[in-house]
Structure formats: C-alpha cells, structure tokens
Amino acid sequence: MTSTHAAILEMRDIEKHFGSVIALAGVSIEVFRGECHCLLGDNGAGKSTFIKTMSGVHQPTAGEILFEGHPMHFDDPRDAIEAGIATVYQDLAMIPLMSVSRNFFMGNEPQKRIGPIKFFDHATANQVTMAEMRRMGINLRGPDQAVGTLSGGERQTVAIARAVHFGAKVLILDEPTSALGVRQTANVLATIDKVRKNDIAVVFITHNVRHALAVGDRFTVLNRGKTLGTAQRGQITPDELQEMMAGGQELVALEDSLGGTV
C-alpha cells in the first residue's frame, strides 16, 4: 500500500507558532491515494492546527508542503481547494437555513447564460444534488430541503459528497464522528470507505481509537505538537494507540481500574 507510488500530499517538519506558543513543533506525514490516514491525538495535541495548515487556513511558520511532488504554498483555503485538498470541518461548514442544493454548490454554483447575464442554474444544481445524495445512500425530500432538518450524520455525508463531487484528491475530515450516535457513526464510516475506494486520499482526524481502527489504513499519533510516528494497519493494537495518544502511564492505570473500557 505504501511505497508502490509517490505520496499525493507530504507535510515535512511543519512548525506553527502563535506568538510565543508553539502549537506544532515539527510534524511530518505522508498521505497516499486511496488510503485512509488516521490522525489521532488528544484535545490540544495540535490536530486542528495541523489540518488548518494542510488546508490553507494557517501558513506554517517553518516546514514544507509537497503536493503531488511539488512544493506548494497556500495563501488561503481557496488555494488548497483549487489544488484538490478539501476539508470537512467538525462544525461542517454547512448553513442550516439554506437548502441542501444551495449548500452543496455554495462557492461553486453552476451557471447558465441567458443573454448577457449569467444565472444560477437551479435545475442542474438540484439534479446533481439529488443524484449525489442517493449515491451516498441518503434520500432527500427534495433538493430544497433545508440542511437544518438533516441529522448530524446526514450533514457530514452532504459535506463529504460535496467535496468529492468538486474533485477533491485529498479529503480532510475533522472529527466527523465526534458528535454522532452509533448508527450515524457507522453511516459516516461507510461513506469514508466509499470515498477511499474512489482513489481519494482521506485524512481522518479523530480521538476515538475504535473509529480509527474501523476504517484506517495507517495511523499517525500527535502529542503536544509532535508526531509519535506512523503505524500500518495490523502493526498496532488499540491499546498501544490509546497509550500513545495519552502520552503517558496515567490512562493505563485508569484503564485497568475501569476494566479496559476507555
């Protein structure tokens, strides 16, 4: 899986300082097409800062980003999106008051020309939205249904479908399962699996080891702004992952007293 072809996205020794606070102290990972790369870490480990650097929201203080083998510099999210790096944030970047189809095409509206004026092509937008949603296994009442009426899992799916539709080569998912119930989590994980099979690289950020192990191909653990290395699927046990995330012995002790359920 790993070295048959070059990494699509490579982050080398990324550092990010906010004033005197060092959020990232040299983080490196490689992401390949068709894999689900899980980025694990506790709250405050630097996951959010890292993916924001990857998606162009932050510029790294030091380090290098290589995309398809070329060094890249993203000034803003738009640059990253154009290169093919799409991010689905924890809070979704969906607007509840707007319809699914308006949300789906937000920022990429299809247009048709009538005379000298370009109009929003609602017919195309609605048709594509319905088709893409069905492909992801969601039945909408109609394309004008407001996003606010969808469940959390469905919203994640809309956001993922949107990113894939607009040609994402790397899809970054920021804690997509953290606020979901069991059944909705299963749906989202199934969606991740579908996306990966389309030869898209998925970067899956989570602090839930079981969710990571369910779909992940490789696992990178972040702790206090540093990586603790990348492991292949099958080379690491859930307990080891959990321990690396906690970065110490305290949790092991706690885990023992709770009977291994954390």
Partner 1 sequence: MSESSAAATPVQDERVKEISGFRKALIRPELGSIVGVVAVFTFFILTAADSGMFNSQGIMNWSTVSAQFMIIAVGACMLMIAGEFDLSVGSMIGFAGMSIAIFSVTLAWPVWLAICLTFALCVAIGALNGYIVIKTGLPSFIVTLAALFILRGLTIYFPQAIERRTIIGGIDDAAAGDWLAPLFGGEIFQGFFVWLADNGLIATFERGTRAGEPVVDGIPMLIVWAIGLVIFGHVLLTRTRYGNWIFASGGDARAARYVGVPVSRVKFSMFMFTAFCACVFATCQVMEFGSAGADRGLLKEFEAIIAVVIGGALLTGGYGSVIGAALGALIFGVVQQGLFFAGVESSLFRVFLGVILLFAVILNTAVRRVITGER
Window 21-80: residues binding partner 1 (CB under 8 A): 77-78
The string over 71-100, giving b where at least 16 C-beta atoms fall within 10 Å of a residue's C-beta and e elsewhere, is ebebeebeebbebbbbbbbeebbbeeeebb
Instruction: Round to whole Å and give the CA distance between 198 and 202.
Output: 10
Q: Closest separation between CB of residue 217 and partner 1, Å?
A: 26
Asked if residue 93 binds partner 1 (CB under 8 A), the reply is yes
Q: What does each C-alpha distance from 39 to 48, 133, 174, 219, 260 come to in angstroms?
A: 10, 27, 9, 6, 22
Q: Round to whole Å and give the CA distance between 169 and 203.
A: 11
Least distance to partner 1 from the beta carbon of 54, Å? 13
Q: How far is the CB of 10 from partner 1 (least distance, A)?
A: 23
Nearer to partner 1, 141 or 197 (CB): 141
Nearer to partner 1, 149 or 235 (CB): 149
Q: List the one residue from 98, 179, 190, 252 that touches partner 1 (CB under 8 A).
A: 98
Q: Residues 132 to 161: which contact partner 1 by CB under 8 A?
A: 134-135, 139, 141, 146, 148-149
Q: Can residue 108 be called a binding residue for partner 1 (CB under 8 A)?
A: yes
Judged by CB under 8 A, which stretch of 37-45, 64-72, 114-122, 180-188 contacts partner 1?
Answer: 114-122
Nearest distance from C-beta of residue 116 to partner 1, angstroms: 13
Longest dimension (CA), the chain: 73
Let me know: does 46 contact 11? Beta carbons within 8 Å. no
Q: Is 96 one of the binding residues for partner 1 (CB under 8 A)?
A: yes
Q: Give how far the C-alpha of residue 121 lies from the chain's centroid of Cα atoms, to the nearest Å.
A: 29
- What does residue 205 show for φ and ψ, rounded to 5 degrees? -95, 130
β-strand partners of 146 = 99
Q: How far apart are CA 98 and CA 158, in angstroms?
A: 13
The CB-of-185 to partner 1 minimum distance in angstroms stands at 17
Does residue 94 belong to the site contacting partner 1 (CB under 8 A)?
Answer: yes
| Site pattern 161..200 for partner 1 (x: CB under 8 A) | -x--------------------------------------
In the block, residue with structure tokens 């070329």: 70
Q: Which residues bind partner 1 (CB under 8 A)?
A: 77-78, 81, 87, 89, 91-98, 102, 105-109, 111, 117-120, 122, 127, 130-131, 134-135, 139, 141, 146, 148-149, 162
